[in-house]
Amino acid sequence: MALNCGIVGLPNVGKSTIFQALTSAPAEAANYPFCTIEPNVGIVNVADQRLDKITEFVKPQKTIPTIVEFVDIAGLVKGASKGEGLGNQFLGHIRQVNAIIQVVRCFDDPDVIHVNGRVDPIEDIETINLELALADLESVKKKQESLPRALKSQDKAVSGRAKELVPVLEKLAAALEEGHAARSVDLTAEDIAVVKELNLITLKKTLYLCNVDEDAVPDGNEYVEKVKEYAAAEGAEVMMICGKLESEIAGLETEEEKSEFLEAAGIEQSGLDQLTHKAYNMLGLRTYFTAGEKEVRAWTFHAGDKAPQAAGVIHSDFEKGFIKAEVYHYDDLIQFGSESKVKEAGKFRIEGKEYEVKDGDIVHFRFNV
Ligand SMILES: Nc1nc2c(ncn2[C@@H]2O[C@H](COP(=O)(O)OP(=O)(O)OP(=O)(O)O)[C@@H](O)[C@H]2O)c(=O)[nH]1
Ligand SMILES: [Mg+2]
């Protein structure tokens, strides 16, 4: 279940710097536009205090966190949707990801080249969003062109689907032509399902990540305020990070050095954990735990998954041969202090196939194959 978040934005705004700090994976970051061409993929452990707490209770031989994947994509420029700056290739990479983190330059630094020669976060966002909308418009138009034929098809399934597509594509094209995101269009869940195969970029959830200088931490700056205003109007999320600082912290070896560094910089926590959490949530991911003496482990499932599907994350046999789930919640463990006390309190439950697994459940699956 490799769901991922793509890191996008204009060239030279700090995407690879942030990616590197996040993943500790090597990615070239340098002060020139189009430093990145091929996407860099990195896996990040999702820090979870609950997992640490369960580990304290159970004292297993090992503990395994969940992960989330990030993809560092090349910078887009104006005209990307028309192929400018290898735009088609880069847009293709963005189409593959499940959610988007748009890095916005919110720092002044005359030494770092800005492709437009000046720092203007809103103009930058609008440049990127317009290219994304135009790329989607092209996908929509292509689909529309194929419709007349599909509508005449003898195959009822084909013509029926085409009929469903007509009004949805019309609505989307109208918005995209104005440069508005597909997610700004009032679509029903059915409409969204109908256009799923188009993989529209502007339908993906987006977080604006303001890359600021050290002195803007933690209060922000006027650029960040502008981005917040812009995002609020769109209903999108915003977060602030100092890419430069984070990459310095990530380069330190011990936790002690890291906390000393944070203290000296006057911040409580590295922004990376927060970013990872936001990405995880944006992807609709949730966590349940298994807690045995051999191993305490966090597992990723999709919000709304029922017990057999969630069990399938461990192994497909668990889903196929699912019998039942023994469940209690992390909060109960904290409240009552041990699994046996949770049982005494009647909080330990046996759940069946229809049970919707909750974030923070501690589960033992019974299965038979
Ligand atoms: N002052 C300052 N410089 C930064 C910050 N973040 C990144 N930089 C610098 O900006 C330059 C570009 O950073 P990259 O991470 O390579 O940018 P990118 O967005 O990946 O660029 P492309 O791959 O070319 O699209 C590098 O010289 C970084 O050191 C920051 O928060 N403050
Ligand atoms: Mg880069």
Domain architecture of the chain: domains with CATH: 4-281 (3.40.50.300), 304-367 (3.10.20.30)
Q: pTM for the full model?
A: 0.88
- DSSP letters of 235-286? T-EEEEE-HHHHHHHHT--SHHHHHHHHHHHT-SS-HHHHHHHHHHHHTTEE
What confidence tens digit (pLDDT) does each residue in 75-98 have? 988 888 787 777 778 899 999 999
C-alpha closest to that of 164 among 151, 145, 183: 151
Angle between helix 243-250 and helix 255-265 axes, rounded to 10 deg: 150
Quick check: bond before 121 cis, omega within 30? no
pLDDT at 82: 81
Calculate what percentage of the chain has a pLDDT beyond 90. 71
Q: At which residue do the structure tokens 């919707």 appear? A: 356
pLDDT at 26: 67
Q: Which residues of the chain have pLDDT under 50?
A: none
Which neighbouring-strand residues pair with 354? Answer: none
Ligand 1 binding pocket, CB closer than 6 Å? 9, 11-17, 29-31, 33-36, 74-75, 107, 109, 112, 211, 213, 242-244
Query: Ligand 1 mean position to 345 CA, how many Å?
Result: 54
- Which ligand number lies closest to the CA of residue 101? 1
Query: Ligand 2 mean position to 226 CA, how many Å?
Result: 24
pLDDT at 9: 95
pLDDT at 147: 94
What confidence tens digit (pLDDT) does each residue in 177-201 have? 999 999 989 999 999 999 999 999 9
Query: Ligand 1 mean position to 240 CA, how many Å?
Result: 15
Residue of 23, 35, 37 with the most ligand 1 atoms within 8 Å of its CB, for mutation:
35
